[in-house]
Homo-oligomer: A and B are copies of this chain.
Amino acid sequence: MIPKLESYNRFVGKKVTKEIRHNAETLQGKHLVHINATPSGGGVAEILNSLVFLMNDVGIDTGWRVLIGSHSFFSLTKKFHNSLQGKKVKLTENRRKIYMEYTKKNSMINHISKHDFVVIHDPQPLGMISHFPNRKKWIWRCHIDISNPHTDTFDFILPFVRQYDCAVVSSNRFKINSLEKPQFIIPPSIDPLAAKNKQISENLANKVLSKHGIDVDKPILSQVARFDPWKGHLGVIKMFKKIKEKMDCQLIFMGDMASDDPQGPILYHRIRQITDKYPDIHTITQRNDLLVNALQKKSAIVFQNSVKEGFGLTVAEAMWKKTPVLGTDVGGIPLQILDGQTGYILKSVSDGVAKSLKILEDNSHRNELGSNAYEHVRKNFLITRHLNDYINMLNTLNSS
């Protein structure tokens, strides 16, 4: 289904969608293109998969291009990503050269100098701007947590960022102090009509999970995340073992892995070596939309035990299904989880165990957290709010 703005009336009300159309009137027929690194998988691609078509629906002629590159380029940009999140990475001459080569190649194959707006997502395509001296408005949309970057990488990217007309970050925490250019705060969002988030029946959810060998009559704890060391799977196993001593339940890990991440399969093997001994821990190595939807809906508790997160939209996804989430205090998680109100912030293994038991043992508390969670997402993290923020930003840029 190609999304239409008015289909969201049932979540946000007619007044909101009417206002969005009104705000977009000044932008009719403007030509905009988004450029990001991956066509699917990962939060950015998921957002664009809704946002791009809603932008078209409100009259902005919106394209979407994806970068091309070699293994070396994408493994390098993964290093950039980690480094901007604080990990030390050596920016060798050869690495700079590879980055500049693909920046140039991607500029050669995309004719975008005449677009009214170009929105560049994250550091991978950032440098393309230097190949378009004759350009209109360019926006750098940074989705990652750059509050504490490794200096070398940050110094390398900053001269590119300065060429943009403005930057957009997801949270006040991620603002770039030294930028001296306008910065907009636009948190990401989920699409309540996407297959992953749309309402499904209890019946269908049970059917889908049973098909994957999950016993739907036993309480489910779960974490939906890539098999990737940043996601804290081993900590979740520790919590689960202690919870399980007090109450019969099961743990489901659901996730794919980035094809360019050598750590993924190794971590998966390590987890399986542990979990193969526990019949109540399941790992499911796929992440199809309906399956994720069903799991988030049917979980008693969802964990998001990340060490670092750009934003962590899987949290909002679970909250949208009225499921309480226990997540760490990183990235955008505390914007979603208001501790004790819409879920709990994980402070330690024993804290996670205590909070989990509290939720598992008190159904009315669980329901209260779940309702608050849903309402918090409805007000703050739906695609309609996101679209409106974009439109307002484009209007501001247009009039400046």
Contact = CB atoms under 8 A, between A and B. Distances in A.
A53 B107 CA distance: 12
A350 to B, nearest CB: 31
Contact of A66 (B2, B48, B62, B66): B66
A45 to B, nearest CB: 7
B53 A69 contact: no
A105 B73 contact: no
Given A39-B67, A71-B41, A75-B288, A265 B268 contact: yes
A53 B101 CA distance: 12
Interface of A: 1-2, 37-41, 45-46, 48-49, 52-53, 56, 62-75, 101, 104-105, 108-111, 194-195, 227, 256-260, 262-266, 268-269, 272, 284-290
A52 to B, nearest CB: 6
Given A39-B66, A109-B64, A259 B262 contact: no
A68 B41 contact: no
A265 B288 contact: no
Contact of A272 (B39, B63, B69, B269): B269
Contacts of A68: 39-40, 45, 48-49, 52, 64, 66
- Nearest 9 pairs between A and B by C-beta? A262-B286, A66-B66, A259-B259, A265-B268, A39-B68, A262-B285, A265-B285, A64-B109, A63-B109
A266 B282 CA distance: 12
A53 B74 CA distance: 18
A88 to B, nearest CB: 19
Contacts of A269: 265, 268-269, 272
A123 to B, nearest CB: 16
A38 B41 contact: no
A192 to B, nearest CB: 15
B64 A40 contact: no
14 contacts: A39-B66, A39-B67, A40-B71, A45-B68, A49-B69, A56-B109, A63-B111, A65-B66, A256-B259, A257-B257, A262-B285, A265-B265, A266-B285, A269-B269
